[in-house]
């Protein structure tokens, strides 16, 4: 765990500040991402880890404007370091940084590829089944080439692919969208991600690739625009264990070779330990703990982080029983969230003061270690502990802890009659 050496001195390429994303559903407003802040630095791998439903993937989609209706980014700033854009859009700039949310849509869209690109979870559903893989990568190269020449021309032939388009493509031969140079670059990219016989493979269709090979091809496609920040959303979840290791090694090699920044989204702390320099732990749409790898793994402060670490097997010391985190992630429905610590109903150290939403505190360790938990401010006080059944009892926060009640186990009515 020594990846983080020297990372503190690197410059930020992206500063995310108070980002909130909501989904407006028939059941009500869902707060999928709640006031999230973090920085991505030059040439580092930043990990975002959490259970399903913690908001980590929606955070990634929010960065590149891919949140679909009924969701939308409702507040916050995304400061991206880009001197040219800062000069062109000086109203949205702060020094060399420009707030992506304040830029016109066409400009933001044109940044997908050369500035930010994404490797998705499931390569099978990310490629168009009826176009050879090499052609699709060549299109990504071509889109970036055209986007550099004219920021309005950023739509590829594989975007918005539906049944109508499929039928049309079957009966009407389309003109080539890409030129020879883009094809050559696609073959080069396939070679760089370790695909054997890339010229032949470039002519093959997605169904002729294995899952691991297709994930490599998707990484090649994501690299087509030579992005500043590569977002990898659970890039190995759909793959078996040996292939997972190969893909992670590939990502690490590419990141080092290009000194690129990578945002690694995962539920797997093993992936974080192996790959990342710094970590954000997300729970219920919030970043609950962040810091260097050493901060989070060696000095976890938030009980949720401790729970995540306690629920992974230790191969060096397999004797202790795993400690699962009891309970479930909350629904994130605004009407049900309340104003307490969102982890309080699962937290073994919940105290009366946790019925107020905690701020982010500085935590022990490096200068950037933060935790959204009162335990970062002072130690646990057993006298203030909430009763274990506090949330089961369904008491509203303002009434305070449940009292001890009577010593006998009789129902209250029966006890009253007999006394
Ligand atoms: S603020 Fe309280 S309830 Fe929340 S994680 Fe910390 S100790 Fe647990």
In angstroms, how far is CA 267 from the centroid of its own chain? Answer: 9
* Confidence band of 389 (pLDDT split at 50, 70, 90): confident
Is residue 326 one of the residues assigned to a domain? yes
Listed range (25-34, 70-79, 198-207, 324-333) with the worst mean pLDDT? 324-333
Return d(Cα 39, Cα 128) in angstroms, integer. Answer: 34
Q: Are 40 and 81 in contact (CB under 8 A)?
A: no
Let me know if residue 313 belongs to a domain. Answer: yes
Which pLDDT tens digit goes with each residue over 108-122?
988 888 899 999 888
Query: What is the pLDDT, as a whole number, of residue 401?
Result: 41
Nearest CA to ligand 1 atom 6: 373
Peptide bond into 70 cis (omega under 30): yes
Question: Is residue 390 situated within a structural domain?
Answer: yes
For residues 368-382, give the mean pLDDT.
Answer: 96
Of 208, 226, 244, the residue at which a domain comes to its end is 226
Q: Are residues 296 and 208 in the same domain?
A: no
Do residues 300 and 202 share a domain?
Answer: no
Ligand 1 atom with least separation from CA of 344: 3
Spell out the residues 6+ positions from residue 273 whose beta carbon is closer than 8 angstroms to its own.
1, 293, 297
Average of per-residue pLDDT across 309-318: 69
CB-CB contact of 68 with 112 (8 Å): no
Domain count along the chain: 2
Q: How far apart are CA 76 and CA 74, in angstroms?
A: 7
User: Which of the four pLDDT bands, split at 50, 70 and 90, describes residue 125?
Assistant: confident
Pocket test for ligand 1, best of 337, 343, 384 (most atoms within 8 A of CB): 343
Are the C-beta atoms of residues 50 and 282 closer than 8 Å to each other?
Answer: yes
In a domain, 104, yes or no: no
Domain-embedded: residue 205: yes
Residue 59 lies in a domain: no
Cα-to-chain-centroid distance, residue 330: 18
CA neighbours closer than 13 Å in the CB half-sphere of residue 128 = 21
Residue 76 beta carbon below 6 angstroms from any ligand 1 atom: no
Retrieve residue 274's tokens: 């192996």
- Which pLDDT score is estimated for 315? 60
- Note whether residue 282 is domain-resident: no
Q: How close is the Cα of 373 to the center of ligand 1, in Å?
A: 5
Q: Which residue has the tokens 């690694």?
A: 264
CA of 354 to the centre of ligand 1 (A): 6
- SS3 of 230, please? strand
Structural domain of 382:
291-399
By CB neighbour count within 10 A (0-12 exposed, 13-18 middle, 19+ buried), where does 297 fall? Answer: middle
Tell me the DSSP string of 101-139.
GGS-HHHHHHTBTTTEEEE-S-HHHHS-TTS-HHHHHHH
pLDDT at 417 over 50: no
What percent of the chain has pLDDT above 90?
A: 58
Q: Which residue among 211, 226, 241 closes a domain?
A: 226
Q: What is the pLDDT of residues 236-269, one digit of tens each?
A: 887 788 888 888 998 999 999 999 999 999 999 9
Question: pLDDT at residue 46 above 90?
Answer: yes
**Rounded distance between C-alpha atoms, residue 327 and residue 272, angstroms:** 24
State the distance from the centre of ligand 1 to the C-alpha of 312, rounded, in angstroms.
21
Q: Ligand 1 pocket, 343 CB below 6 A?
A: yes
Question: For residue 399, what pLDDT is reported?
Answer: 41
pLDDT of residue 10: 86
pLDDT at 324 over 60: yes
Segment 343-363 shows an average pLDDT of 95
5 exposed, middle or buried (CB, 10 Å; 0-12, 13-18, 19+)?
Answer: exposed
Q: How confident is the model at residue 277 (pLDDT cuts 50, 70, 90)?
A: very high
Q: Which atom of ligand 1 is nearest to the CA of 288?
A: 5
Secondary structure (3-state) at 258? helix
Predicted pLDDT at 147: 67
Cα(352)–Cα(401) distance, integer angstroms: 7
User: Quick one: pLDDT at residue 170?
Assistant: 55
User: What span, in angstroms and rounded, lies between the C-alpha atoms of 365 and 291?
Assistant: 9
Quick one: tokens of 244? 């997972």
pLDDT at 173 over 80: no
Ligand 1 centroid to residue 268 C-alpha, Å? 23
Of 180, 208, 226, the one marking the end of a domain is 226
pLDDT at 398 over 50: no
**pLDDT cut 70: percent of the chain above it:** 81
Is 150 among the domain residues? yes
| Poorest-pLDDT segment among 38-52, 282-296, 317-331 | 317-331
Across all residues in the chain, what is the average pLDDT? 84
């Amino acid at each position: 765990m020594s990846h983080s050496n020297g990372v503190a001195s690197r410059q930020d390429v992206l500063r995310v500040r108070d980002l909130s994303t909501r989904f407006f559903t028939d059941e009500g407003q869902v707060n999928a991402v709640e006031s999230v802040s973090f920085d991505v630095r030059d040439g580092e791998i930043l990990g975002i880890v959490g259970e399903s439903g913690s908001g980590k993937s929606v955070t990634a989609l929010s960065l590149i404007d891919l949140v679909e209706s009924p969701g939308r980014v409702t507040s916050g700033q995304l400061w991206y370091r880009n001197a040219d854009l800062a000069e062109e859009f000086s109203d949205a700039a702060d020094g060399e940084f420009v707030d992506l949310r304040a830029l016109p849509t066409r400009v933001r869209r044109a940044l997908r590829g050369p500035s930010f690109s994404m490797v998705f979870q499931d390569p099978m559903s990310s490629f168009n089944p009826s176009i050879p893989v090499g052609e699709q990568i060549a299109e990504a190269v071509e889109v970036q080439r055209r986007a550099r020449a004219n920021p309005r021309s950023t739509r590829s032939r594989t975007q918005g692919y539906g049944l109508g388009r499929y039928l049309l493509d079957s009966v009407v031969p389309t003109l080539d969208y890409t030129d020879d140079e883009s094809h050559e670059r696609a073959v080069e990219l396939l070679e760089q991600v370790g695909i054997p016989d890339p010229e032949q493979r470039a002519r093959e269709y997605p169904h002729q690739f294995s899952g691991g090979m297709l994930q490599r091809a998707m990484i090649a496609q994501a690299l087509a625009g030579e992005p500043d920040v590569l977002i990898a959303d659970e890039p190995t979840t759909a793959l078996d264990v040996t292939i997972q290791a190969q893909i992670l090694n590939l990502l690490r090699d590419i990141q080092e070779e290009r000194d690129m920044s990578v945002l690694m989204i995962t539920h797997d702390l093993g992936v974080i330990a192996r790959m990342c320099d710094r970590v954000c732990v997300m729970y219920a749409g919030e970043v609950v703990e962040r810091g260097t790898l050493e901060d989070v793994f060696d000095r976890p402060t938030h009980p949720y982080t401790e729970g995540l670490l306690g629920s992974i097997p230790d191969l060096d010391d397999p004797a202790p029983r795993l400690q699962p985190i009891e309970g479930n992630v909350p629904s994130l429905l605004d009407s049900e969230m309340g104003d307490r610590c969102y982890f309080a109903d699962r937290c073994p150290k919940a105290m009366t003061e946790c019925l107020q939403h905690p701020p982010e505190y500085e935590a022990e360790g490096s200068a950037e270690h933060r935790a959204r938990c009162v335990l970062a401010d002072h130690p646990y006080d057993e006298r203030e502990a909430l009763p274990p059944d506090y949330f089961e009892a369904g008491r509203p926060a303002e009434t305070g802890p449940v009292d001890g009640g009577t010593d006998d186990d009789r129902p209250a009515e029966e006890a009253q009659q007999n006394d």
